[in-house]
Structure 1
């Protein structure tokens, strides 16, 4: 796969949320045109943060005609629908992009596609075993995109990402409410990544990721969900959340939270480090939280 770092002149970001904005900021130079997709017609034509916004709704195929994908690097960050086991939004995008193929697509997926591994280390050769519909939708998107990339001869890079944290991405409201967490002795293993390191991984995947390749994105030191909540509380000067047993959790925690708690795995990030050459600024949770300003988090 050729290196795009020196020749890239067009970037198209689908899913222009927090991650999209952070990635867009990596391309602030006069030689690169960055475009973002918005589903709000009134925002089309605006240029927030030097990004050109174009209208298109992934739930309305007719609105996607003429997307600026031809010859562009595409970052696909849009989530699947909230229900079902497939991602029709990805299918709609791929149909539109077939008429104007990009030079590469980088897709953010989830480590949830691996399912529960009883705390074992998992690398990218592991067969996916999604256990929730949320993860099944992501795997469906991965498979659609990879098949399309082979057919269209467009390089596709998949990032399977652990839990994302960082400034503005901490469970502050939950901690303030004093909501319970699972007793740490009953917690499974989980992996995470600081948002700045995720952005670096996105850029590296675009510039030197191998075609039709999957990369786990996580830091070097997995932990537990409860350990994460307690560390964040300590950093922000908030009380540690109360801990309850799994039996109690099944009646008090949300279905989404329980799905995270009942799966246990540790992500192997060797490809991220060795193939993509990503140097983690925050190789563990302690270093990542150390740079977060508690005062700023308190007013978000």
Structure 2
């Protein structure tokens, strides 16, 4: 069996790690030739995408694939995979699963109210508008080709090396307070588990929210991370006074609570890290184990 992954990033890497034993061949794309070399050194087939020299090798990979995961973000000109390779994907004779990684940002702002997969998207940011358009493109490809496409709307991703704990440890954490603001999060290993479950039970046109069970104020999460690390939490900073990038500030313009019951009810997934507490505690345990000297 063969898997093609567009965009070998943080989440895609966790998915490959989890399902690699199911596939005889895993193809992963990168934006630089240097990274394709590193992918080959890790035992994957590395492909450049977009490829200025053409995509004949990727077209052959797609023709032989049973599964495709798309983890490449869209841009103002649309989804780059659809733009360049939709015909190859639609024609792939063995393809039994297409997964597209999207974002809960497509729901927009709901004033702290709950949303689920039946909630009509009303994106606010340009990025979320582009994501929703890409979702539509992939679902349309699935309808036209008969290929089962599943959309995964991801909450804020964290995991080893990328979490509030890491920011506390390196001194970059901010405890930003905006009254009433909450965010959902999702551990990268739980995303991988959801993707694996969908791979085993594909449903054409499926849309899944992938989020933890406790939307929480961001300052509470930072405080908890600091406690786990044995460090004092950074001082509280009012949202209006916080130093943030425009992208980070834009996230605070959307406030919602994301329900993800469908991954349990349809895919049978029980989150290993249902709240940020379990997830951050596991990261501390993993860090401690990595730093503990081998006394055997």
TM-score by length of structure 2 reads: 0.85
**Mapped contact 1:164–1:193 kept (Cα < 8 A):** yes
In the other structure, the counterpart of 1:74 is: 68
In the other structure, the counterpart of 2:275 is: 284
Is 2:217 aligned against 1:224? yes
Is 2:177 aligned against 1:183? yes
Residue deviations 1:17-62 (CA, integer Å, cap 9, x gap): 2222221122333863222123333535963433222x2323x575
Structure 2: any 5+ residue segments left out of the alignment? Answer: 292-296
In the other structure, the counterpart of 2:56 is: 65
In the other structure, the counterpart of 1:169 is: 162
**Mapped contact 1:24–1:51 kept (Cα < 8 A):** no
CA distance in structure 2 between the aligned counterparts of 1:126 and 1:30, rounded to whole angstroms: 34
In the other structure, the counterpart of 1:39 is: 31
TM-score by length of structure 1 reads: 0.84
From 100, 107, 126, the equivalent of 1:107 is 100
From 194, 212, 216, the equivalent of 1:201 is 194
CA distance in structure 2 between the aligned counterparts of 1:30 and 1:280, rounded to whole angstroms: 21
**Mapped contact 2:165–2:222 kept (Cα < 8 A):** no
- Per the alignment, do residues 237 and 90 of structure 1 end up closer, same or farther by CA in structure 2, a change over 3 Å counting? farther
In the other structure, the counterpart of 2:208 is: 215
CA distance in structure 2 between the aligned counterparts of 1:74 and 1:215, rounded to whole angstroms: 17
From 43, 48, 54, the equivalent of 1:56 is 48
Structure 1: any 5+ residue segments left out of the alignment? Answer: 1-8
CA distance in structure 2 between the aligned counterparts of 1:246 and 1:266, rounded to whole angstroms: 19
From 8, 16, 38, the equivalent of 1:24 is 16
In the other structure, the counterpart of 1:296 is: 287
In the other structure, the counterpart of 2:294 is: none
In the other structure, the counterpart of 2:266 is: 275
CA distance in structure 2 between the aligned counterparts of 1:85 and 1:47, rounded to whole angstroms: 30
State the aligned residue count: 284
Residue deviations 1:220-252 (CA, integer Å, cap 9, x gap): 111122222222222223432322223324xx3
1:263 positional shift: 1.1
RMSD value, Cα:
2.6
**Mapped contact 1:183–1:246 kept (Cα < 8 A):** yes
**Mapped contact 1:157–1:211 kept (Cα < 8 A):** yes
- Per the alignment, do residues 140 and 174 of structure 1 end up closer, same or farther by CA in structure 2, a change over 3 Å counting? same
- Per the alignment, do residues 257 and 294 of structure 1 end up closer, same or farther by CA in structure 2, a change over 3 Å counting? farther
